[in-house]
Amino acid sequence: MNLEIKGRKIIVSKISTDWGEETFTFNGRSELLNWAEKYFEKTPLEQTDEEYDRWIRLFKSI
């Protein structure tokens, strides 16, 4: 995952073997955090609580 800040815009790029490159553009930090909380939903079969918390902390630090 790559993150780029251009003024108020925050651009997140993700490369996946299934979809290629996905790009998400946000108009501020609050939009980014809302997306991150939904994108990294706690799913017990896919990730642990620690992994989820780590991702959310990382996005909140931006």
Q: What are the residue ranges spanned by the domains of the chain?
A: 2-60
* Helix, coil or strand: residue 31: helix
Phi, psi of 61 (to 5 degrees): -75, -10
pLDDT in tens, 5-35: 999 999 999 888 888 899 999 999 999 999 9
What the block records as the tokens of 54 is 């780590």
The pTM score is 0.71
Which pLDDT does position 1 carry in this prediction? 86
What is the pLDDT, as a whole number, of residue 37? Answer: 87
Residue 43 has pLDDT above 70, yes or no: no
Place of tokens 């800040």: 5
